Each structure stands twice: as C-alpha cells, then as structure tokens.
C-alpha cells in the first residue's frame, strides 16, 4: 500500500485532528481580528466585574493589532456600504417590541388561566403520564 493511499478513504483525503484544531483556532483568531471593534463594544456593555476586566484585557490588544494590521478595514467598508450609520459598528439595531402597550401605560391584569376539568384534563407533556 502506498503512503498516499493510506491518507485516503473512499477517494477523500483525511487530515489529523491536530490540523483540524489548528485551522479552527486560526479561523477564530481571524474572525476576532476582523470584528475586534464589535468585540470590545460587546465587552464594554457588560456589567462591571472581574469577568469584564479580564475580557477587556484580552479584547483591547486584539483590537489594537486589528487596527495596526488593517484587518478591521473590511468590516468598516461593509458597514459603510450598508450605510446604516444610526447603529454603532457591530451592534444590531434593537427590535421594536411586538404588541407592546403604549408608552406610559401599565398593565396589571394577568391573562386568565384555563381550569382543567374531567372532560378536558391538564396534559403534562411527560410521556407515560395521562
């Protein structure tokens, strides 16, 4: 059996798990570099604490490297092409709530609950229980 045939299964070339891990990590690093501004903005929106501090300590150098290398430019070009200048870079616009009461009004009544009866029993969703 030739060495080349040992790396093929049904005509497809196989790769080692180590190669898959390396490609995955490089892909995640590239995504972080391209989207670094949004990454920092997301972390800054978190509540104060140790977790936020650690995440900022990691995200801000990534953003600096992204700016130095120019890897943030594709994201900026896409944002400018979309021409959505109302939303900050990387942040989606908040969706308007559906069926929301008008501003200033409050609702205090709860919806009525169905009362189970013998004719229409309550179904629990567990298998084996009627």
Residue 1's pLDDT is what? Answer: 47
Q: Predicted confidence band at 94 (pLDDT cuts at 50, 70, 90)?
A: low
> Whole-angstrom Cα distance, residue 80 to residue 86?
11
Close Cβ partners of 107 (under 8 Å, ≥ 6 residues apart):
101
Close Cβ partners of 89 (under 8 Å, ≥ 6 residues apart):
37, 38, 41, 75, 76, 79
What length is written for the chain?
Answer: 130
Percent of the chain surpassing pLDDT 90: 27
Average pLDDT over the chain, rounded to whole?
79
Q: What is the pTM of this model?
A: 0.49
Q: Predicted confidence band at 97 (pLDDT cuts at 50, 70, 90)?
A: low
Write a three-state SS string for 22-59: HHHHHHHHHHHHHCHHHHHHHHHCCCCCHHHHHHHHHH
The yes-or-no verdict on residue 60 having pLDDT over 70 is yes
> Whole-angstrom Cα distance, residue 71 to residue 58?
17
Q: Predicted confidence band at 72 (pLDDT cuts at 50, 70, 90)?
A: confident
The yes-or-no verdict on residue 19 having pLDDT over 90 is yes
């Amino acid at each position: 059996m030739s060495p080349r045939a040992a790396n093929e299964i049904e005509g497809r070339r196989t790769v080692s798990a180590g190669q898959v891990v390396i490609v995955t990590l490089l892909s995640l690093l590239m995504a972080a570099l391209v989207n670094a501004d949004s990454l920092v903005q997301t972390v800054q929106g978190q509540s104060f604490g140790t977790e936020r501090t650690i995440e900022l300590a990691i995200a801000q150098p990534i953003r600096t490297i992204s700016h130095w290398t120019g890897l943030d430019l594709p994201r900026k070009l896409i944002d400018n092409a979309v021409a959505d200048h109302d939303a900050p870079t990387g942040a989606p616009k908040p969706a308007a709530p559906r069926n929301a009461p008008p501003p200033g009004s409050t609702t205090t009544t709860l919806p009525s609950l169905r009362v189970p009866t013998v004719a229409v029993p309550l179904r629990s969703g567990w298998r084996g229980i009627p």
